[in-house]
Amino acid sequence: MQFDHYHPQDYSPASYDEYFASDGVPRPAVQPILQWFRQQSSQNLAQIDAATQNVLQELGATFRVGDEDRVLPFDPIPRVIAAEEWQQVAAGLKQRVRALNQFCADIYGEQQILQAEVVPRDVVTSARRYLPACQGLQPPQGIWCHISGIDLVRDRQGQWCVLEDNVREPSGIAYVLKNRQAMQQVVPDLLETVQPQPAGDYAQQLKAVLSSFQGATAGAVGILTTGPTSSSYSEHVTLAEQMQVPLVRPQELAIQEGALHYWSDRGWQRLAGLYRRGDTELFDDLDLGADYPDSLAAIIELCQQGQLAIANAIGAGIADDKVIYAYVPDMIRFYLSEEPLLPNVQTYLCWREGDREYVLDHLDELVVKAASAEGGDDMLMGIHSTPQERAAFADKIRQRPRAYMAQPTVSLSQMPTVIEGQVVGRHTDLRPFVIHQGDDLYVYPGGLTRVALEAGELVVNSSQGGGAKDTWILS
């Protein structure tokens, strides 16, 4: 089978290979999978690849690009993580989310981290998603970051590093659930052989978070969506179905008798809580009538009064800022008195003069990101850029230095991937999901492994043409 022709150095010699320690030397955790795949012919491999795509189509594992719904491209060769290694990763994820949660509570509370000058005040107050109206807000159980998606990459030595934090509306979990369903249908004997940890209780864990809102105030809980125009609408539908909660659109909301209500087939129903699948623009678009001309302010006021709870809390988006990201290790030390278990990727902040000059002098080597952008937007991949693109970014950095940060080009780890019936190396990252319930944090066993489908490509986002793999945590 084609693994015999898979040589890691042929694709990205400087990258950590998830399957092979060196040419022809597989890593221990993947040996049962390699043995199984080696028993398959090239024709069988192509059939497996096609069958998983068909199952995902039937399961509705789609995302929207423009006006078109597409099945997220899926590769049948799974990512495998040993149990002991995953325990270390999960501990680092929990540590990071605890610190981010305390940061949000502090920023909208006593602001001790600003007074201690651990994080510069101007960096916080200038962040696009900092909302002064949330000052004094105390969400139920003190939780701001109910659902977090932390993007991880491996460096050249195989060390896990945090690339990005996502605590406003981390997407991708529905693809994780459906990817596993597809593998169970197409290659059940492979799963029986390896027996990865089961992947089915995310919806129950998430519903438990939303149900806790009902203890704070009477009413239903639901998922707030923009509707079919959202790129991840199929995920909203999947989660609403699995949790058996209503899927609510902005035009179906109203404030009545000092509380938020949604329109159902039984008339207006009071809402105790919402899982929002969108940024604060979701609330900007509400038409709540003449009494509430500023709909976002009205929603924040309901939260301030304890009449409504939202996951993730309005204001938590401050933690997604890519400049704030650089200070998370300091947050861990400040709030938890611990050393970070998962390091950041080295980061240059363009608002600092020394960092800015370095970035401007090395644009052809760095990855430059806008602090508030997402999905690969407003980003310069220096090694693949033109002189004109670098000049344009240099102007943007000089004009708005706070709005940009830069990192070295991370040589993402690579994995065997089926491309046109052949097994070749492609770059990957991993988005694990963490759910915060009271004092407990639940790390879903696995996560969304995203894979770049073009040779040498380092951007793995689905919006930029990337695909996905199933992620197997060994028992």
Q: Is the domain of 316 the same as that of 359?
A: no
The residues near 163 (Cβ < 8 Å, ≥ 6 apart) are 151, 152, 153, 345, 410, 429
Beta bridge partners of 269: 262
**147-154 and 433-437 as β-strands: parallel, antiparallel, unpaired?**
antiparallel
Higher pLDDT, 461 or 426: 426
Does the pLDDT of residue 5 top 90, yes or no? no
pLDDT at 16 over 90: yes
The answer to whether residue 21 is domain-embedded is no
d(CA 21, CA 26): 6
Domain count, the chain: 2
Question: Which has the higher per-residue pLDDT, 313 or 475?
Answer: 313
167 and 313: one domain?
A: yes
Q: Alpha carbon 429 to chain centroid distance?
A: 11
Nearest CA to 76 out of 455, 467, 473 is that of 467
Q: Identify the weakest region by mean pLDDT among 8-12, 433-437, 457-461.
A: 457-461
Q: Using the 3D structure, point to which of 306, 336, 366 is the last residue of a domain.
A: 336
Last residue of a domain, one of 309, 336, 363: 336
What average pLDDT is seen over the chain? 92
CA distance 448 to 75: 12
Task: Name the DSSP letter for residue 386.
Answer: -
**pLDDT of 109-134, one tens digit each?**
999 999 999 999 999 999 999 999 99
From 172-186, 273-287, 355-369, the region with the lowest mean pLDDT: 273-287
Q: How many CB atoms lie within 10 A of CB 391?
A: 11
Q: Do residue 206 and residue 283 come from a single domain?
A: yes
241 with 359, same domain: the answer is no
pLDDT of amino acid 88: 97
Q: Which residue has the tokens 């900092």?
A: 130
251 backbone dihedrals φ, ψ, rounded to 5°: -70, -5
Give pLDDT tens digits for 190-227: 999 999 999 878 999 999 999 999 887 788 999 999 99
Q: Is residue 187 part of a domain?
A: no
**pLDDT at res. 2:** 65
pLDDT band at 1 (very low <50, low <70, confident <90, very high): low
**pLDDT band for position 100 (cuts 50, 70, 90):** very high
pLDDT > 70: percent of the chain: 99
| Separation CA 147–CA 97 (nearest Å) | 9
Residues 159 and 304 in one domain: yes
CA-wise closest residue to 154 among 474, 468, 449: 449
384 pLDDT higher than 60: yes
Same domain assignment for residues 254 and 372: no
Closest Cα partner for 81 from 445, 337, 381? 445
CATH number at residue 393: 3.30.1490.270
pLDDT above 90: percentage of residues in the chain: 75
Q: Which pLDDT score, from 0 to 100, does residue 437 have?
A: 84
Range of the domain at 363: 348-408
pLDDT at 26: 94
Query: Could you tell me if residue 267 is inside a domain?
Result: yes
H/E run at residue 189: helix 188-194
Higher-confidence residue of 47 and 360: namely 360
Distance CA 304, CA 315 (A): 12
304 and 213 within one domain: yes
Same domain for 94 and 240?
yes
Give residue 214's pLDDT.
85
Name the amino acid, one letter, at 197: Q
Nearest to 209 by CA among 374, 440, 20: 440
Q: What integer pLDDT is reported at residue 288 of this predicted model?
A: 84
> 318 and 262 share a domain?
yes
Are 240 and 303 contained in the same domain?
yes
Q: Is 136 left (phi over 0), alpha (psi -120 to 50) or beta?
A: left
The pLDDT value given to residue 463 = 66
What is the maximal distance between C-alpha atoms in the chain? 70
CA distance 450 to 284: 32
Contacts of 69 (CB under 8 A, 6+ apart): 62, 63, 234
Does residue 42 register a pLDDT over 90?
no
Q: What is the pLDDT of residues 321-373, one digit of tens each?
A: 999 999 999 999 999 999 999 999 999 999 999 999 999 999 999 999 999 88
State the pLDDT at residue 407: 97
Task: Spell out the residues 6+ positions from residue 54 whose beta carbon is closer than 8 angstroms to its own.
Answer: none
How does DSSP classify residue 39?
T
The verdict on 163 and 242 lying in the same domain is yes
For residue 293, count CB atoms less than 10 angstroms from its CB and return exposed for 0-12, middle for 13-18, buried for 19 or more. exposed
The CATH number for 147's domain is 3.40.50.11290
Residue 274: in which H helix or E strand, if any? strand 267-276
Q: Are residues 316 and 374 in the same domain?
A: no
Cβ–Cβ under 8 Å, residues 191 and 198: no
Residue type, 367: V
Structure letter (DSSP) for residue 126:
T
Please tell me the predicted confidence (pLDDT) of residue 401: 97
Crossing angle (nearest 10°) for helices 173-186 and 202-213: 150
Q: Is the pTM of this model over 0.85?
A: yes
Q: Of 108-112, 196-200, 266-270, 457-461, which gets the smallest average pLDDT?
A: 457-461
Q: Report phi then psi at 114, rounded to 5.
A: -75, -40
**Could you tell me the pLDDT band of residue 65, with boundaries at 50, 70 and 90?**
confident
pLDDT band at 412 (very low <50, low <70, confident <90, very high): very high
Nearest of 247, 269, 258 to residue 292 by alpha carbon: 258
Here the contacts of 118-127 (C-beta below 8 Å, separation 24 or greater) are 118/327, 118/330, 118/331, 118/334, 119/324, 119/327, 119/330, 119/331, 122/402, 123/323, 123/324, 123/327, 123/351, 123/402, 124/318, 124/324, 126/402, 127/318, 127/321, 127/323, 127/324, 127/371, 127/372
- Is the pLDDT at 162 greater than 60? The verdict is yes
With cut-offs at 50, 70 and 90, classify the pLDDT of residue 20: very high
